[in-house]
Each structure stands twice: as structure tokens, then as C-alpha cells.
Amino acid sequence: MSRPNLTMAERRPTRQIFVGKVPVGGDAQVSVQSMTTTKTADVEGTLRQIYSLAAAGADIVRCTCNEEEAAEGLAHIVPRSPVPIVADIHFHYEMALAALDAGVACLRLNPGNLRKPEEIKLVASEARDRRVPIRIGVNAGSLHPDLYKKYGGATPEAMVESAQRELELFAEVDFFDVKISVKASNVPLMVESYRMLSQAVDHPLHLGVTEAGPPPAGLIKATAGIATLLAEGIGDTIRYSLTADPVEEARAGRQLLEALGLRERKGLDLIACPSCGRAEIDVIALAKEAQTELEKLGFPIQVAVMGCVVNGPGEAREADLGIAGGKHKGHLFIRGKIVRVVNEDRMIEELVSEAKYLMEQGVEARLLAADPTAESEAAADREELFKLSGSDPNATAGRIESIRRRVTPTE
């Protein structure tokens, strides 16, 4: 039950690579990535986390490869993983080579940490021969010292030059199977760096705000950077870097892409009004309960919880399903049409039941099955609320007279 893409800029064209069987760039859908927080040598613990990440929406998962035991763990993890595995390499080129021996689907190299040209070219040659792509992972906090000196700090120009230097080394050994990130914890720096990079190369771009921090601030910061670029058509794969359970990263990435219309909805999209003085119910509590119960179903639908029967169904008319709270009653609606009026104490129960029917039978069938008296009963409820507020709650006639006195010159 998806909606048309109305506002997104056209995707920037990029060459396509494959991380395992997952296409990145070109005409492929934007993919979601995350990273395990377990010790990679802990094979069973790492696999449990990988499966949780995949269930939450991760298409690709990265694991650290910082020691021999981690590389050996990858050899066990790769064939059992439900998604392609990327090995994260920082200082030791030997770990990159070991990860390739373990069978990983991609490497991530930080050009600020792995600096010797001969070592970088050796890794690229081995990756080329095995048809394994590499992500050039530029980070504002770990650029080569001479770039800080040249540009006076971490600037977009410094970030882009770091990536381009690595690309030049790769080109010397005919390796071009590359994706690139230029991450920073400063959102404006991150955004401008990716904009500049997108004009300089045609490689697929991996978006992220590094070290975004814990939710909710980390979610806001990461979304500000990633969503800005995606709305401009920049970006081929994304990762939220949160100080939290990585499952939250995968879930946030998936939900962002769904919200932007870049991925088909996989789960619940619950919308709710912020509540106001017109509400006759506790909207916040009702929305939380609805979220909990409907998420158990795993249906890819948009559901609205509204606090006002006067405006709620109209304001949320694009939702697949919704409930608007009245005085001791709830108006159950589908695509803005009232289909039933239910008692307040059964609103969540009836909402869940209708969601099941909707998925089984479809929108048209459920609209045909609407209670024929629902709309007239709803109209009566709305009229009652109008009467409680008075026929002229804003004292409109008096206000108009005052306005006219102010703007009409006296003789």
C-alpha cells in the first residue's frame, strides 16, 4: 500500500557494484547497512546480532577485522550470514588480506589510517583478483596529517582529496570496484563533503554521519545529514552510526527510506496527531498502545491515530486505516471514509481487527463492508462536539466588527 514519490530529486547516476548479491549504485534501490558491536571472534554471538540486524532491515552488515582471531571468526561467519559481510580494516593491511581469505563480500579501508601506497595497492590487487569491492571510508577525524595542514583542518576539500588520492592508487592496479564515504560528525561538513564528492566522481556513495551519538539526538543528527542528501538525489547506501543497539540503526535506516519513498514499506507506518485541546481521548497513550499492538502483526500499512473526530479523518485521509477519538467513541476510517463507530474501550481492539481484515480482503472490500449507519452516527457525534463548543466559539461576529473598525477609516 505504497504512495507515489512526489518530491524526491532524481537519483544521481552512479556506476554499479555488487556487495555479495546486493547491488549498490546504478538503478539499485538504496540499501541499508549497520555494524556489529560484538567481538568478531565470538562467532555465535556475532551471528545472532547479524540475524537481528537483517530482520530489522539491514541489507549489508560490517564486522571489525582487527586481529587474527577476528579474521578466523569471519571465516565461520561469512557462509552462515543471511546478508553480505563487510570487513572493517583500520591500521593493518594484513587484516585486509586475511579478511579476503575469509571470504568477505567487501572491505572498508580508512585512507587516513592505512597510508603506505604499496600496502594499499597490494590490498586493491588482491580484491581485484577476487572481484571484491572496497569502500574508501574517509573520516573527518582521521585524515592524513598533511591534508589537515594543507586545508587548515577537516574541510570538504580535504575529505574529497583524501578519497581521490585513494582512487588514484587503486587506478594504478586497475581496480575500480569502489564505493566511497566522506563521513563527519558535523552535519553541515558531512553534507557539503558529499555534495562536492558527487560532482567529482561517479562511484556509488555510502552516506552516514559518523559518531552521531545516542538517540534521540543521534537519530536527529544522522537523519538531518542523510535525508538532506537523499532528497537531493545523492546516496546509494546508508548507515546510521548510533551509540545504541545496532538494531536501532538498521530499523532507522529502513524507516527513513520508507518515509522518503525510496523503499517499499515493509512494516507499520503509524502517524498520529500531537494532540490538542479538542482531543477527547489520551492521544499519546492511544498511539503508543496502537504502535505496540500493530507492530506485532508486521503489516506494511499506514495507520493513523487522531484525537479529534471533527478533523481527524479528513486530515489523515491518505492513511490506509485510522481511528479518531470522540466523546467516549472512536470513528474507525479507511482512506478517510468512516466505516464504523466503536466504543472508546474497544478502539485498539477494533483497530487491530480491522487491520487484519484490510490485509486479508483489501481496501475496496472493506469499504463495501462499511456499516451503513457509521457516517450518520459520526456526523451526529461531530455535531454534538460543535454544540459543546457553542455555535460561535471564537465570537466571530464581534471580532469581524472590531477588524472593520480598525481597517475602515472613519469619516
pLDDT tens column, 98-140: 999 999 999 999 998 998 999 999 999 999 999 999 999 999 9
Q: What's the pLDDT score for residue 262?
A: 93
Q: Do 136 and 109 contact (CB within 8 A), yes or no?
A: yes
Q: Which of these, 95, 182, 199, 189, lies nearest to 142 by C-alpha position? A: 182
What's the start-to-end Cα distance of the chain, in Å?
62
Helices (H), 239-303: 246-259, 283-295
Alpha-carbon distance of 198 to 163, in angstroms, equals: 12
CATH 3.30.413.10 in the chain, residue ranges = 269-389
Give the neighbor-by-neighbor strand order of the sheet with 134-139. Answer: 178-183, 134-139, 106-109, 85-89, 60-64, 31-35, 237-239, 206-207
Q: What's the pLDDT score for residue 272?
A: 85
Q: Do 134 and 127 contact (CB within 8 A), yes or no?
A: yes
Q: What's the pLDDT score for residue 408?
A: 76
Alpha-carbon distance of 89 to 104, in angstroms, equals: 12
Q: Which of these, 4, 11, 57, lies nearest to 234 by C-alpha position? A: 11
Cell digits for 196? Answer: 562536492
For the chain, list residues with pLDDT below 70. 1-7, 275, 277-280, 309-312, 385-396, 409-411
Q: Do 169 and 117 contact (CB within 8 A), yes or no?
A: yes
Domain covering 269-389, topology = Sulfite Reductase Hemoprotein; domain 1 (3.30.413)
CB atoms within 10 A of CB 143: 24
CB atoms within 10 A of CB 301: 19
CATH 3.20.20.20 in the chain, residue ranges = 17-259
Alpha-carbon distance of 20 to 107, in angstroms, equals: 11
Q: What's the pLDDT score for residue 390?
A: 54
Q: What is the DSSP letter of 282?
A: -
Q: Do 148 and 116 contact (CB within 8 A), yes or no?
A: no
Q: What's the pLDDT score for residue 277?
A: 63
Look at the block and give the residue holding cell 530489522. 56
Q: Which of these, 220, 323, 338, lies nearest to 272 by C-alpha position? A: 323
Cell digits for 330? Answer: 472512536
Classified as helix, coil or strand, 33 is strand
Torsion angle, alpha carbons of 303, 257, 33, 197, to 10: -160
Q: Do 46 and 75 contact (CB within 8 A), yes or no?
A: no
Q: Do 357 and 337 contact (CB within 8 A), yes or no?
A: no
Q: What's the pLDDT score for residue 279?
A: 65
Decide yes or no: CATH 1.10.3720.10 for domain 17-259: no
**371 CB-near residues (< 8 Å, 6+ apart):** 339, 340, 341
